[in-house]
Amino acid sequence: MESMSYNLDVAPINYSYIFEFESEFIHQNSRKWMKENWTVAFYYVGVYMAFIFGGQYYMQNRPRFELRRTLIVWNSALAAFSIMGACRTLPEFLHVLLNYGIYHSICVPSFIEHDKVSGFWTWMFVLSKLPELGDTVFIVLRKKPLIFLHWYHHITVLLYTWFSFTEFTSSARWFVVMNYCVHSVMYTYYALVSMGKYPPKMFAMTITVLQLTQMIVGFFVNIWAHNFMTTAPRHSCGISEINIKLSMAMYFSYFILFAQFFYKAYLSPKPGKKERKDKPEPPVVGQTKSLDYIVNGNLRQRNGVVH
């Protein structure tokens, strides 16, 4: 899907400060690179899966690694990155939503084609899905439980975001901002836990609720996109039918898995286990058991992806 011409004169919003690396962002170059290389992601996924099963087999009869300090740095870095990404993409999202409306926010990829700041951080968001696979390295080396949701989420988000960038999928404006915001809270929580500081259990539950909300909103964004595509002039909405179908399937599956996780972690009875008030069970999508043992292998679980 090539760049389309929209009868909308969209000017980027004014930022208080624009970094040099943001002002030098050229969206055509990043799209060209991704079009030529996005399928390489399948090789990364292959290596990732080989590491998961090969690593677990290798560690089976070996002592676990602690990696506490490394884990603190890792989670803190991802938290800082997510907070920065949210701060740089949220203003454009709100500007477009309030001044141009739902249709523009879903169907016009001006956040990449017209806004260098949002465009750069969207590009960083897409690329970040590769190093985020490192969450699993901590789980395997620390010999923590690795649930299906963790690696399924990592794989599908990587493949979907890389593919979507080749199309400059316009509805990604919503997905990028939501994911940055949720990850800001989630990785901050992981960083605190890895430091030995345990926020109240309600904080962990809130993260999972935010993740579930992200899935619900993402699902409705796709429904709106489909409706716009069927009612608006042909090729006037910057998203493909196949992209909508893939996104709907992903968000629906994520919602089911996260809801199941939420029930098991916070609602289902745990016979024979005393609730540990000092170390509450956390949320999910990168790290797990509650949020803690899914992702970096702490007591953690992570994300909300997405998405």
Cβ-contact 302, 186 below 8 angstroms:
yes
String of DSSP letters for 60-88: TTSPPP--HHHHHHHHHHHHHHHHHHHHH
Q: Per-residue b/e over 93-128, b at no fewer than 16 CB within 10 Å?
A: bebbbeeeeebbbbbbbbbbbbbbbbbbbbbbbbeb
Q: Is 307 a catalytic residue?
A: no
Closest CA to 103 of 31, 205, 29, 7: 7
Q: Which of 27, 95, 153, 307 is catalytic?
A: 153
d(CA 221, CA 165): 17
Pair of tokens at residue 230: 């069927």
Alpha helices in 38-67 (DSSP H): 41-59
Cβ-contact 221, 106 below 8 angstroms:
yes
Catalytic residues: 153
